[in-house]
Structure 1
Amino acid sequence: MSSLEQKNLRVLNRDVIKYIATFTMVLNHIGIVFLMPGTFLRELLVDIGYFTAPVMCYFLVEGYYHTHSRIRYAGRLLLFAVLAQIPYTLVFQTTVLNMLFTLFFCFLLLEVKARIQSPFFRWTGYLILIFLTGFCDWPTMAAVYTLLFAYAYGSDKKMWRAFLISWVVFAFMMFTGNMLYYSPGMTVLVTAGSVLGAVPAAVVLMCFYNGKRAARGKTFSKWFFYLFYPLHLLAIWGIAMCFFL
C-alpha cells in the first residue's frame, strides 16, 4: 500500500476513536452485568470490550506528551476515579478499584519514565506501580500497554512491534486465566476470541487515526469522557436494580 493510500485511510480523529472505545466499554459492561457467564453473546460483548484498554492507554501516552499541564491531567484522572468508585462498586460488587485509578497509575508510570534516570530506581518504580494496578480494573495489562506505547512513541514501526508484543502478553495472561475454567480446546478458543477483540484497536489507531482532535466540540468531548464513566455506571446499576429486585 502506498503512503498516499495510507494517508487517505486516516479519516478518524482522536475523539471519534475514543467514542468508539467508550461504546465498546459499555458493551463489555452490559455483557458482564446482564448476561450469563459462558453464553456466546456474553463472551462476544466482553471480547469486543477488549478494544477499549489499548485505545485508552495509547491516548494516555499521547496526552501525556501533548498536555499543557501534566499536574491538571493527573488531577482529573484521580478526581473522576474517586467519583466513579462508588458506582463501580455498586455495579460489579467488588473492592477492586475502577479503571480510572488504573489510568492514574499508568500516568505515574510515564512520570517515572520521564523523571527517573537511574535504571534501578526507574524499574523499581515500574514494578511498584504495576503491582498497584493489580488492585484495579484492567490489572497489569494496562501498565504493559502504557509502557510499550511510551517506549514506541514517535515510530510507527516500533508501535506496530509494541502492539504485537502486547497481543502475545495478553494472550498468555488470558490463556493462563482461562485454563482454570475451560477444557484445553475451549481455552484456546476463548483466548483467541479475547485477542481478536484487541487486534482492531491496533488497526484503527495505526491505519485510520489522523493524529488530530475533532475540529468542533473539543471542550465537550474532553469532559464527556470523564463524566460518562461514572454516569454510565450509575445507569447500569439503576437498570440492574429494576431487573433484579
Structure 2
Amino acid sequence: MEKNYKILNRDQIKYLAIVLMTFNHIAHILMTPGTVVYEVFEDMGYFTSITMCYFLVEGYFYTHSKRDYAKRLFLFALISEIPYLLAMGYFQLNVIFTFLICFCILLLLDSRLNKIQKILSVLGLILLSTLCDCALILPIATILFKFSRGNRKEQIQAWIIMCAVFFVLNVPGYAPVDAPYPFLSGYALLHGFYAIISWILAGIVIQVFYNGKKSEKYVFFNKWLFYFYYPVHLLVLWSIRFFLL
C-alpha cells in the first residue's frame, strides 16, 4: 500500500534547504548577533547542511560519473570562495569544499586500499575539514549515511548520533568566554539544543516525508540550482551590506 505521507521529492526538499540557508546567511551577513531574530534565522539554516550532505551520499550512488561529480564540486567550491570570504569577512573554506571532502571520503571507503590505509586516509580528510565551514560533523555524517543506507532503523540511529555529536560540538561555542566548564552553562546547553532542532526536523522530513524520487520537471534547472545559487546569493547579501548598510 502506498504511503500517502511520502509527499516530498528530493528537489522540493532541496528548495526548502536553499531558503533556510538564505535565512542563516542573512543573519550572519546583515544582522546583529545575539538578538532573538538572529538566533532564529541562524538555527533555521542548520537544516541545509545536513540535508545536502544526505543527498550528496545519495547522489554518489546514483551519479553516472563520480569523476564529473567531483570536478563539479571542486569547480563551484573555487567559484564560491571569493563571494564567501567577502560575505563572511574571515578566512575559511566554504561548505562546498566540505562536500568535496565528504565525496572523497566516499571514494576512499569504496577504494581498494586496505583497512588501515582507509582509516588513516579518512581521518586525514576529517581533520582537513577543520579548514572548512561545517567542519568535522559533515564528514562524520557522510560516513554514517553511507553505512546506514538502505536500512531505515540504522538511518534513524544515524540521525540520533549526528544530532548528539552536533550538540556536543556546538555547546562550547555558545558558552561564556570565562566559563570553565561549558557543559555546565545553562545558556550554552539551551542554545546547543536550539541548534539541533533543525537537524531533527531534517531527519523527520527525509525519513517520513521523502518519497525517494526526484522531480520529473525542470531536470537541468534542478541539477544546477544550488551550485549557482550559493555564490550568487552570497554576493547579493554582501552587496546589500557593503552598499546599503
Normalised to the residue count of structure 1, the TM-score between the two structures is 0.95
Q: Deviations over 1:168-210 (max 9, x none)?
A: 1011111122224478111111111001121110000000101
Q: CA deviation at 1:154?
A: 1.0
Q: What are the residue-to-residue correspondences of 1:9-158 with 2, within 5 Å?
A: 9-158=5-154
User: What residue number does 1:208 align with?
Assistant: 209
Q: Distance in 1 between matches of 2:88 and 2:5?
A: 39
Note the residue ranges of structure 2 that are not aligned, 5 or more in a row.
none
Q: Distance in 2 between matches of 1:243 and 1:130?
A: 39
Q: Distance in 2 between matches of 1:106 and 1:185?
A: 33
Q: CA deviation at 1:144?
A: 1.2
Q: Which runs of 4+ in 1 moved over 4 A?
A: 180-183
Q: CA deviation at 1:243?
A: 2.6
Preserved CA contact (<8 Å) 2:30 2:237: no
Computed over aligned residues only, the root mean square deviation of the Cα atoms, in angstroms, reads 1.3
Q: CA deviation at 1:135?
A: 0.3
Q: Distance in 2 between matches of 1:8 and 1:119?
A: 43
Q: What are the residue-to-residue correspondences of 1:198-237 with 2, within 5 Å?
A: 198-237=199-238
Q: 1:195 aligned to 2:161?
A: no
Q: CA deviation at 1:117?
A: 4.3
SS of alignment partner, residue 134 of structure 2: coil
Preserved CA contact (<8 Å) 2:108 2:118: yes
Q: CA deviation at 1:223?
A: 1.1
Preserved CA contact (<8 Å) 2:50 2:138: yes
Q: Distance in 1 between matches of 2:173 and 2:26?
A: 21
Q: CA deviation at 1:39?
A: 0.7
Preserved CA contact (<8 Å) 2:108 2:121: yes
Q: How many positions carry a matched residue from both structures?
A: 240
Q: Distance in 1 between matches of 2:87 and 2:21?
A: 14
SS of alignment partner, residue 133 of structure 2: coil
1:219–1:164 distance in 2 versus 1, CA, 3 Å: same
Q: CA deviation at 1:211?
A: 0.6
Note the residue ranges of structure 1 that are not aligned, 5 or more in a row.
none
User: What residue number does 1:175 align with?
Assistant: 171
Q: CA deviation at 1:145?
A: 1.1
User: What residue number does 1:162 align with?
Assistant: 158
Normalised to the residue count of structure 2, the TM-score between the two structures is 0.95
SS of alignment partner, residue 58 of structure 2: helix
User: Which amino acid in structure 1 is aligned with residue 192 of structure 2?
Assistant: T
User: What residue number does 1:243 align with?
Assistant: 244
User: Which amino acid in structure 2 is aligned with residue 15 of structure 1?
Assistant: D
